[in-house]
Amino acid sequence: MRGRPATRKRSISRFSGDGASPGLRSSRTKVFCTNFLRSFFALLFLALTSACAVPSIHSRPVQEEPTWFVRLDSVDPVDRRTVGYQHPATWSEQDLFAILSRLFLEQRVGLMDDPRPVRQVFSREELQHIVPSVREAFHTAMPQEWVAFTIVQPSGTENHALTSGGLFLEADRLHIVVANHRTILPTNSPEGLKVRHNPLYSVNGSGGILGLEPRRYVLSTKANWSGGYRASANEMVLDHVGLLASINLSDRMESTRLISPSGPPGLPQTLHSNVESTAEATTSDPAAAIHRLEGEIEHLKRQLADKQREVERLKANSLGQPTSR
């Protein structure tokens, strides 16, 4: 009789302890899972933050003026890794002018939208300013440096239009990056200061896709995120050797005249003088005439293809509409 209560007491105490353990295990499991998830998301956030961080930029000025600058940029030594461009490189001002003056931006539109006019990347006055400094920058650049530029033009009383980007040689190809084009910003805005720190930083995108005539020398175009992840710049990979080989001597001489004008920078040239120089070059250089005709034929082919697509679109629309009686 005395053994039963003791046995019952032990069984009761054992039952009480065993009954509490599932609850404790459940609460401990919840705490562990909560702490684990918090730690996991904290580590994930830190990883994403470090991956998206823009490396610090080191700059070597080439020439800096109130409305534009050209310099050499590079990243921190720890971030360079496999960066190695074909620098220094030797260019002539005439070749750089011939390439950069042909650049334009075009916007992609839908099949049913009207094509939008292309926009020249650089004005003649802007090229007269920056081309000599770009040539000097390529000549003094180290393998880890690229050429960076920024052009600021006034736009109203409190804003300015900002154009920026970079250039570098890699694998025997010229890479041209446009991060901002005529982007309107308030004077001394934080975004403008970011562009000044890194000209590859894009505020609202490049404003289109880089193009060049003749198009056969454009090997590819792609988004460039070197300046950060707010918006992408646009990068063109160009067969500059083939392009320069196709440019005739008269165009090079015209570039020389435009880079070193007799009057002030940006002095407009008359259409009559351009037509006369073109006619003289055509009659004196048959190869130049052939190259020019090839370019015109390509342009006409593209126009014909566009017209054909428009005709097909109109046919499809007309077939889909009921016939009027």
Q: Assign 141 a pLDDT band (cuts: 50, 70, 90).
A: very high
How many helices (DSSP H) and strands (DSSP E) are in the chain?
A: 9, 10
Contact (Cβ atoms closer than 8 angstroms) between residue 248 and residue 287: yes
Alpha-carbon distance of 58 to 50, in angstroms, equals: 19
Contact (Cβ atoms closer than 8 angstroms) between residue 185 and residue 160: yes
Alpha-carbon distance of 191 to 182, in angstroms, equals: 14
Report the pLDDT value the prediction gives residue 30, as an integer from 0 to 100.
64
Report the pLDDT value the prediction gives residue 88, as an integer from 0 to 100.
96
pLDDT, tens digit (0-9, with 9 covering 90-100), for 11-60: 444 444 445 555 555 666 666 666 665 665 555 544 444 444 556 899 99
Report the pLDDT value the prediction gives residue 16, as an integer from 0 to 100.
46
- Count other Cβ atoms within 10 Å, centred on residue 120: 14
pLDDT, tens digit (0-9, with 9 covering 90-100), for 273-287: 333 344 444 444 566
pTM of this structure: 0.64
Domain coordinates in residue numbering, the chain: 57-268, 285-325
Residues in the chain: 325
Residues 6+ apart with CB under 8 A from 259: 93, 94, 97, 127, 128, 131, 132
Report the pLDDT value the prediction gives residue 39, as an integer from 0 to 100.
61
Q: Is the pLDDT of residue 156 over 70?
A: yes
Please state the rounded mean pLDDT for residues 65-74: 96
Torsion of CA 84, 152, 204, 220, to 10 degrees: -40
Contact (Cβ atoms closer than 8 angstroms) between residue 161 and residue 155: yes
Lowest mean pLDDT among 75-84, 189-198, 206-215: 75-84
Q: Is the pLDDT of residue 157 over 70?
A: yes
